[in-house]
Amino acid sequence: MNREWLRQHRAAFVVGFFGALVCQVIIAVVAVGLVTVSPLRMEVYAQFRSIIDRVVREHTVVDSSGQHSDVVSVVDSANPAVVSIIISKDVPKMEQILNEGNQNNPFGIFGLSIPQYRQNGTEEKEIGGGSGFIVSDDGYIVTNAHVVSDKDAKYTVLLNDDESKHDATVVAADETLDIAVLKIDASHLPFLEFGDSDAVKVGQSVVAIGNALGQFRNTVSVGVISGLSRSITAGDRSGSEVLPDVLQTDAAINPGNSGGPLLDLAGRVIGVNVATSSGGESISFALPSNMVRATVDGIRENGRVIQAYLGVRYVMIDAEYAKANDLPVNDGALVRRGDDGKTLAVVPGSPADKAGIEENDIILAVDDVLLDEKHPLYVVLRQKVVGDTVTLKVLHDGNETSVSVTLAERPTSPEEE
């Protein structure tokens, strides 16, 4: 039995155990009192015993074995659909050569030789690893974009059920969300289904599975949802990215776990493991499933990342920015041109342009979702699909107005939303 689970449920276990023991003692006392049997007394005894049995049974299920059984069941059912991703790359193959005559060797006069090396071709080596999970029986796999960011690398998927290896193709990657979809040539595969991340509650039990440290395949950790709608800056030596609206959990997520699933106790994916805090203990993060599912569905259907597009440049307002720029509100998205003064605030011909949005307008809300630090414009738009008609609450020349906009497909330029 998991030690962490025992620690969390120790009090309930002790109360349940001794409660059951006391109930059995009471039953024994009553039985002794009824040793001079009569039909009426036996009927009372039967009813009393039935009540006690029901109470004991209910507490045993809730406090003793319920969660433990659920976790084991989740792991058994989910493990076959969780994969390890092996990253390989051609690297220079070096060989040591002899420096005959100690040419160009300043220490040659002392009889000392300095080893020299030269490249002799290349060789394929494993340079890293990550996790992923299968989302369809025909071989589509979800992982983090940063796991498969090296365009010169080769990616191999190792299945858990039969330990077979399959070459993987990166279908598409969404770097802003840190989600990528891979495809392997296989069929009749086990796969996981997405759950509703909007229904997740703080304190809810979760299970994380992944290729911990790139070495320990399908490592399982158990925890709870510690927080919702967190905004974090995640990155490594190659760069960083801001990830808003992520789930926080105390389930252990180690390097190599990136791209693995965060599961509820029904075995549904409610998040994709993405980062862990280097400055704290038991603080990890996962991308919410609802946001991931929309991106994955678009990639599977179109073979590329398709995002809904409004067509404005903007800066998110906070209290400090509002004070410095004498703005009438402390939240919202201020439509403004680029810092060079040449890049237009509203893209000509875009949905925003057609709806009459102008420079210096402040977009306060999208479909009644107020825009603020936790809900920036691009995150709210990520919940939408091309063709959706949304209602914007806009502050224009000091007056609030409502504007309907039909979203188009975002062009390749990442400069505006």
- Residue 139 counted as domain residue: no
Tens of pLDDT along 348-388?
Answer: 999 999 999 999 999 999 998 999 887 888 888 877 888 99
Q: What is the residue type of 117?
A: Y
CA 231 from centre of chain = 13
Counting every residue, how long is the chain?
A: 417
pLDDT value, residue 20: 57
| Catalytic residue chosen out of the listed positions 146, 166, 284, 331 | 146
Q: What type of residue is 230?
A: R
For 343, the token pair is 């890049």
Same domain, 298 and 315: no
Active site annotation includes 396: no
Indicate the residue among 61, 78, 95 that finishes a domain. 78
Q: Mark whether 178 is an active-site residue.
A: yes
Q: Whole-angstrom Cα distance, residue 247 to residue 229?
A: 6
Helix (H, G, I), strand (E, B) or coil at 190: coil
Note the pLDDT of residue 212. Answer: 75
For residues 174, 236, 242, 178, the Cα torsion angle rounded to the nearest 10 degrees is: 20
DSSP string, 25-44: HHHHHHHHHT-S--HHHHHH
Residue type, 262: L
What does each C-alpha distance from 373 to 204, 334, 346, 380, 394 come to in angstroms?
25, 13, 22, 12, 17
Q: CA-CA distance, 85 to 82, in Å (whole number)?
A: 10
Amino acid in the structure at residue 302: N
Q: What is the CATH number of the domain that holds 219?
A: 2.40.10.10
Please list the ranges in the chain whose pLDDT falls under 50.
1-2, 5, 34-37, 55-67, 236-239, 414
Nearest to 329 by CA among 386, 257, 276, 393: 393
* CA-wise closest residue to 261 among 307, 214, 206: 206
Tell me the sheet residues that pair with 24: none
Parent domain of 243: 197-302
Pair 326, 375 in one domain = yes
DSSP of 217-253: EEEEEEEEEEEEEEEEEEEETTEEEEEEEEEEE-S--
Here the tokens at position 27 are 């039953």
Q: Looking at the domain assignment, is residue 91 inside a domain?
A: no
Let me know whether 270 and 215 are in one domain.
yes
Same domain, 215 and 244: yes
Q: Are residues 292 and 326 in the same domain?
A: no
Are 265 and 245 members of one domain? yes
Q: Which of 63, 174, 178, 331 is catalytic?
A: 178
Q: Assign residue 361 the CATH number of its domain.
A: 2.30.42.10
Residue 391 per-residue DSSP state: E
Q: Which of 271, 302, 333 is the last residue of a domain?
A: 302
Q: What is the CA 22 to chain-centroid distance, rounded?
A: 46
Structure tokens at 142: 């979800």
Q: Is residue 129 part of a domain?
A: no
The DSSP secondary structure of 118-158, one letter per residue, reads: EEEEEEEEEEEEEEEEE-STT-EEEE-GGGG--TTSEEEEE
Q: Say if 24 falls within a structural domain.
A: yes
Nearest to 159 by CA among 188, 181, 179: 188
Residue 240 shares a structural domain with residue 325: no
Q: Which residues pair with 154 in a beta bridge?
A: 88
Q: How far apart are CA 347 and CA 337, in angstroms?
A: 10
- Asked, for residue 358, whether it belongs to a domain, the answer is yes
Residue with tokens 């365009």: 151
Which pLDDT does position 65 carry in this prediction? 38
The answer on 297 and 201 residing in a single domain is: yes
Q: What pLDDT digit, counting tens, does each position of 178-187 carry? A: 899 999 999 9
**Residue 137 covered by a domain:** no
The DSSP string of 265-285 is: TTS-EEEEEEEE-SSSSS-EE
Last residue of one domain, picked from the residues 78, 107, 127: 78
Taking the C-alpha atoms of residue 259 and residue 144, their distance in angstroms, rounded to an integer, is 5
The answer to whether residue 371 sits within a structural domain is yes
Place of tokens 């002790």: 14
Torsions phi, psi of 187, nearest 5? -145, 165
**Active-site annotation holds for 146:** yes
Q: Which residue out of 84, 197, 205, 258 is catalytically annotated?
A: 258
Give the helix, strand, coil percentages of the chain, each rounded to 5: 30, 35, 35
Q: Answer yes or no: is 289 within a domain.
A: yes
- The 3-state DSSP class for residue 7 equals helix
Q: Which pLDDT does position 100 carry in this prediction?
A: 56
Please state the domain count of the chain: 3
Q: Same domain for 289 and 321?
A: no
